[in-house]
């Protein structure tokens, strides 16, 4: 055998770590074809749930990856470098509320030295109305490119629809419980009330007597041999029925108070098991009392009811059982693009998304206290613009760094049974392990309760602002304009410009603006946001405000810029862009959204001005004189002219509208300070309506 063939033979069959990154990459590719990502549908969900519970318990980290039906409806609605945390969250919130998760991959894993031990699962989801209560979802949107990619990978949409796992969020589960009620008395909580009334006592005694006679009759009938007709008549008279093979009694109730009284009374009766019979709408219709033959039989029935309730809860929660397992474990969760993934997770499995980023973050961390984003870790070592997806990031690490990782996957597949759905979750696990190796981070948590990460990882945890690299960075409003450049700029130095020629490039627009005015004589940059909308970056503080004033005044001396304005060129500050996101003006073109935001702001300003004028009209009635006055817009008038010796005493100030403008607030404050004894009504006005 030639030396070259010997070398190839050694490479193919060697089981040890290879000395070069290229060799390791080859072996990884060869073994990757044998990895099996367990595909979980409704038919094998119960089995997989038990397995993943064990794997989550025994692993140190949990990687997650979602496959949605879409992410954004227009290019500018993606999270862009110019987005601050607030606008980025509002864009992610919009996507999570519109699109649906069809695949949710979960991979509990541990990293021991250079070995990655992974247990990947890919859950196929579909928001089916299992309980016939119009939840979890009426409809959702789809993006063609996403569905095309899934179809190209062989995704079975029929299997997803018919055998996908349904779910309810925590908020929807509470709503469902109110609608369908509980069958177990342990799940039924009645608020405590005052002592028993006469009516309560009478109801309790009558019910107790009825139950006692029924129990005695059932026990007597077991001892006697009676004719079938007589036995049937006896059951009709006593109201007895059968629950399976056991006798039962139905006690009708009219209120929650009676439910509480019956359940408390039945605690004193031996060998009976109460069951709540819910009516439509979640209210309690009756209490079913089941008589058991012995203590063992009672324990057996209670176990059966507990199992039935657990099975019902699993059916209600569906895939959310997995989310609850991850949350309960308190293990660190690793993802790629955490803002996007966790807005979907929050929306689909927890509750409706909050309106602000701060509220979202604080609520989410109560459920998942440690969230790590491999994107933020990648920013520590590489040019982020080249690493916007997992394969590119892993390829970059293999080229630039020697960080060999042996991957051990619990599921194995034959050559003709390779499953690629959900493979990104393995890539996230591998990328995280490699990053920890390159950055010299020890990926270990405290062994006691997993409540803390290592300090090296903690500084990268729980970061949802795409423009920041660390959770310790201050919350500011500086952004990056380009992915390839880490230079940051305040949003106050940005101007949105639209009404441009369709298809114009940033370079051409910059050339047109250069030298057209003094504000463009110093350093500035242009970045296209949409096909006819751009952001202008003024690196000199104050030039953005100057340019906006120039646009408003029309003091343009450059003919080319005049022509652009006459053709519809418009400009606005970053505040207008922020308003677009806050108002939910998700138009296909950013230019249309900005126009609508300006129009809405103009209408609100006009309405506020009219309101302020009406508020400024006040009536002051004094004991000895009664007259009215109109305070001017600036709120100036002579206080001494109204506070004379003869008009001191009992008087009343009436504000004609509820809202008090700032200038009038200052007047009332001054008037209150001038008065030696502020009148009662003025005091109330100051204390209740002024800040």
Task: Check residue 134 and give left, alpha or beta (phi > 0: left; psi -120 to 50: alpha).
Answer: left
Mean pLDDT of the chain: 77
| CA 436 to the chain's CA centroid | 28
In a shared domain, residues 192 and 301: yes
Residues 6+ apart with CB under 8 A from 452: 445, 446, 458
Both tokens of 672, joined, read 């209150």
Residue pair 354/363 in contact (Cβ under 8 Å)? The answer is: yes
In a shared domain, residues 527 and 652: no
In a shared domain, residues 19 and 47: no
Burial track 312-321 (b if 16+ CB lie within 10 A, e otherwise): eeeebbbbbb
Identify the residue with better confidence: 213 or 344. Answer: 344
Neighbours of 97 (CB within 10 A): 15
- Of the pLDDT bands very low, low, confident and very high (cuts 50, 70, 90), residue 481 is confident
| Count of structural domains within the chain | 5
DSSP 318: B
Residue 450 lies in a domain: no
In a shared domain, residues 131 and 249: no
CATH of the domain at 527: 3.30.70
In a shared domain, residues 145 and 214: no
pLDDT over 70 percentage in the chain: 69
- Of the pLDDT bands very low, low, confident and very high (cuts 50, 70, 90), residue 421 is confident
Residue 65 lies in a domain: yes
The confidence score (pLDDT) of residue 124 equals: 95
The confidence score (pLDDT) of residue 477 equals: 75
In whole angstroms, give the CA distance from residue 195 to residue 260. 12
Residue 563 lies in a domain: yes
Residue 480 lies in a domain: no
Beta strands 533-538 and 494-498 are antiparallel
The confidence score (pLDDT) of residue 653 equals: 41
User: Which among 575, 590, 607 is the end of a domain?
Assistant: 607
DSSP 187: G
Which of 167-171, 307-311, 369-373, 511-515 has the highest mean predicted lDDT (pLDDT)? 369-373
In a shared domain, residues 595 and 543: yes
**For the residues of 393-422, what is the DSSP string, one character each?**
HHHHHHHH-----EEEES-B--TT----TT
| Residue 245 burial by Cβ neighbours in a 10 Å radius (0-12, 13-18, 19+) | exposed
Q: Give the residue numbers spanning the domain of 8.
A: 1-32
Residues 6+ apart with CB under 8 A from 631: 616, 618, 637, 663, 664, 667
CA torsion through residues 611, 614, 617, 619, sign: negative
Burial track 160-172 (b if 16+ CB lie within 10 A, e otherwise): beebbbbbbbbeb
pLDDT over 90 percentage in the chain: 31
Q: Is 247 helix (H, G, I), strand (E, B) or coil?
A: strand
Residue 439 has, within 13 A of its CA and on its CB side, a CA count of 20
In a shared domain, residues 413 and 500: no
In whole angstroms, give the CA distance from residue 475 to residue 478. 9
Identify the residue with better confidence: 429 or 389. Answer: 429
In a shared domain, residues 38 and 125: yes
Which residues partner with 287 through β-bridges?
Answer: 251, 276
**Span of 77-81, 148-152, 193-197, 299-303 with lowest mean pLDDT:** 193-197
Mean pLDDT in residue range 325-346: 94
Helix segments in 350-381, DSSP class H: 357-367, 374-378
* pLDDT greater than 90 at residue 399: no
pLDDT tens, 238-259?
556 778 888 888 888 888 888 8
- Give, in order, the Cα–Cα distances in Å from 452 to each of 245, 259, 323, 333, 459: 53, 45, 20, 13, 12
Nearest C-alpha neighbor of 501 from the set 488, 491, 511:
511
* pLDDT greater than 90 at residue 333: yes
In a shared domain, residues 582 and 635: no
Side by side, the strands of the sheet bearing 272-278 are: 240-243, 246-252, 284-291, 272-278
Residue pair 52/119 in contact (Cβ under 8 Å)? The answer is: yes
In a shared domain, residues 572 and 659: no
The confidence score (pLDDT) of residue 680 equals: 42
pLDDT tens, 102-134?
999 999 999 988 899 999 999 999 988 776 666
The confidence score (pLDDT) of residue 651 equals: 39
DSSP 427: H
* pLDDT greater than 70 at residue 17: no
Backbone angles phi, psi at 107, to 5 degrees: -140, 95
* pLDDT greater than 90 at residue 678: no
CATH of the domain at 131: 3.30.420.10
User: Which among 572, 607, 642 is the end of a domain?
Assistant: 607
Residue 313 lies in a domain: no
**Span of 67-71, 273-277, 367-371, 652-656 with lowest mean pLDDT:** 652-656
Both tokens of 24, joined, read 């390791």
* pLDDT greater than 90 at residue 68: yes
- Of the pLDDT bands very low, low, confident and very high (cuts 50, 70, 90), residue 353 is very high
The confidence score (pLDDT) of residue 691 equals: 38
In a shared domain, residues 164 and 46: yes
In whole angstroms, give the CA distance from residue 77 to residue 590. 9
In whole angstroms, give the CA distance from residue 654 to residue 496. 45
Residue pair 21/394 in contact (Cβ under 8 Å)? The answer is: no
Residue 467 lies in a domain: no
Burial track 646-681 (b if 16+ CB lie within 10 A, e otherwise): eeeeebebebeeeebbebbbebbeebbeeeeebbee
| Residue 424 burial by Cβ neighbours in a 10 Å radius (0-12, 13-18, 19+) | buried
Backbone angles phi, psi at 153, to 5 degrees: -85, 5
**For the residues of 629-646, what is the DSSP string, one character each?**
EE--TT----HHHH--GG
In a shared domain, residues 164 and 265: no
Residue 454 lies in a domain: no
**Span of 160-164, 413-417, 436-440, 458-462 with lowest mean pLDDT:** 413-417
Nearest C-alpha neighbor of 498 from the set 575, 600, 580, 569:
569
The confidence score (pLDDT) of residue 416 equals: 45
The confidence score (pLDDT) of residue 173 equals: 83
**For the residues of 27-74, what is the DSSP string, one character each?**
HHHHHHTTB--EEE-GGGHHHHHHHHHHHHHH-SEEEEEEEES-S-SS
Q: Is 259 helix (H, G, I), strand (E, B) or coil?
A: helix
In whole angstroms, give the CA distance from residue 632 to residue 634. 6
In whole angstroms, give the CA distance from residue 326 to residue 59. 11
Residue 14 lies in a domain: yes
Both tokens of 231, joined, read 């036995």
In whole angstroms, give the CA distance from residue 651 to residue 623. 6
* pLDDT greater than 80 at residue 633: no
Burial track 492-508 (b if 16+ CB lie within 10 A, e otherwise): bbbbbbbbbeeeeeeee
Residues 6+ apart with CB under 8 A from 223: none
The confidence score (pLDDT) of residue 9 equals: 40
- Of the pLDDT bands very low, low, confident and very high (cuts 50, 70, 90), residue 432 is very high
Identify the residue with better confidence: 404 or 343. Answer: 343
Identify the residue with better confidence: 325 or 213. Answer: 325
In whole angstroms, give the CA distance from residue 351 to residue 208. 43
User: Which among 282, 306, 330 is the end of a domain?
Assistant: 306
**Span of 462-466, 490-494, 566-570, 598-602 with lowest mean pLDDT:** 462-466
**Span of 381-385, 526-530, 561-565 with lowest mean pLDDT:** 381-385
């Amino acid at each position: 055998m030639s030396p070259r063939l010997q070398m190839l033979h050694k490479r193919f069959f060697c089981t040890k770590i290879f000395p070069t990154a290229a060799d390791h990459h080859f072996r990884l590719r060869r073994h990757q074809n044998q990895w099996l990502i367990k595909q979980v549908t409704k038919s094998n969900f119960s089995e997989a749930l038990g397995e993943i519970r064990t794997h989550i318990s025994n692993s140190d980290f949990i990687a997650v990856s979602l496959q949605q039906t879409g992410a954004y409806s227009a290019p500018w609605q993606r999270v862009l470098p110019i987005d601050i945390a607030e606008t980025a969250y509002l864009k992610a919130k919009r996507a999570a509320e519109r699109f649906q998760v069809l695949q949710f991959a979960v991979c509990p894993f541990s990293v021991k030295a250079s070995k990655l031990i992974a247990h990947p699962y890919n859950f196929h989801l579909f928001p089916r109305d299992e309980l016939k209560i119009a939840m979890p979802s009426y409809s959702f949107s789809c993006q063609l490119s996403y569905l095309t990619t899934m179809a190209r990978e062989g995704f079975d949409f029929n299997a997803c629809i018919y055998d996908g796992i349904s779910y309810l969020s925590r908020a929807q589960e509470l709503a469902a419980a109110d609608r369908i009620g509980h069958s177990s008395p342990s799940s039924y909580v009645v608020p405590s009330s005052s002592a028993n009334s006469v009516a309560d006592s009478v109801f309790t005694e009558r019910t107790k007597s009825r139950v006692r006679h029924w129990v005695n009759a059932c026990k007597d009938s077991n001892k006697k041999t009676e004719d079938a007709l007589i036995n049937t008549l006896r059951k009709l008279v006593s109201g007895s029925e059968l629950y399976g093979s056991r006798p039962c009694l139905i006690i009708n109730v009219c209120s929650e108070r009676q439910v509480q009284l019956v359940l408390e009374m039945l605690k004193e009766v031996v060998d009976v098991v109460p069951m709540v019979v819910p009516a439509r709408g979640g209210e309690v219709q009756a209490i079913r009392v089941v008589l058991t033959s012995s203590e063992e039989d009672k324990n057996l029935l209670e176990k059966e009811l507990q199992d039935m309730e657990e099975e019902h809860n699993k059916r209600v929660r569906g895939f959310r059982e997995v989310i609850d397992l991850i949350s309960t474990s308190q293990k660190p969760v690793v993802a790629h693009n955490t803002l996007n993934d966790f807005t979907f997770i929050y929306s689909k499995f927890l509750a409706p998304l909050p309106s602000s980023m701060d509220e979202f973050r604080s609520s989410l961390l109560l459920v998942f206290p440690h969230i790590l984003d491999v994107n933020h870790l990648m920013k520590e070592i590489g040019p982020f613009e080249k690493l916007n997806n997992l394969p590119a990031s892993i390829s970059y690490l293999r080229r630039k760094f020697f960080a060999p990782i042996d991957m051990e996957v619990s599921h194995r597949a034959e050559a003709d049974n390779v499953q690629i759905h959900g493979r990104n979750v393995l890539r996230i696990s591998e990328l995280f392990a490699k990053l920890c190796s390159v950055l010299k981070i020890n990926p270990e948590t405290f062994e006691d309760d997993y409540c803390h990460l290592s300090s090296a990882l903690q500084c990268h945890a729980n970061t949802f602002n795409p423009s920041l690299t660390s959770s310790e960075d201050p919350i500011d409003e500086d952004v990056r304009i380009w992915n390839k450049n880490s230079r940051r700029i305040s949003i106050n130095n940005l101007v949105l410009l639209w009404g441009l020629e369709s298809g114009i490039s940033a370079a051409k627009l910059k050339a047109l603006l250069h030298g057209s005015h003094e504000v463009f004589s110093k350093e500035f940059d242009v970045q296209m946001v949409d096909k006819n909308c751009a952001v202008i970056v003024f690196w000199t503080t104050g030039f953005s405000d100057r340019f906006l004033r120039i646009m408003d005044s029309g003091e343009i001396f450059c003919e080319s810029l005049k022509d652009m304005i006459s053709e519809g060129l418009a400009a606005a500050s970053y505040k207008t862009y922020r308003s677009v996101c806050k108002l939910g003006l998700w138009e296909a073109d950013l230019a249309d959204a900005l126009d609508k935001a300006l129009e809405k702001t103009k209408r609100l300003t006009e309405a506020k001005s009219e309101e302020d004028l009406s508020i400024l009209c006040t009536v002051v009635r004094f004991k000895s004189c009664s007259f009215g006055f109109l305070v001017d817009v600036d709120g100036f008038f002579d206080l001494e002219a109204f506070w004379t010796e003869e008009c001191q005493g009992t008087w009343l100030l009436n504000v004609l509208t509820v809202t008090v403008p700032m200038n009038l607030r200052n007047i009332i404050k001054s008037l209150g300070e001038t008065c030696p004894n502020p009148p009662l009504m003025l005091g109330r006005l100051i204390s209740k309506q002024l800040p």
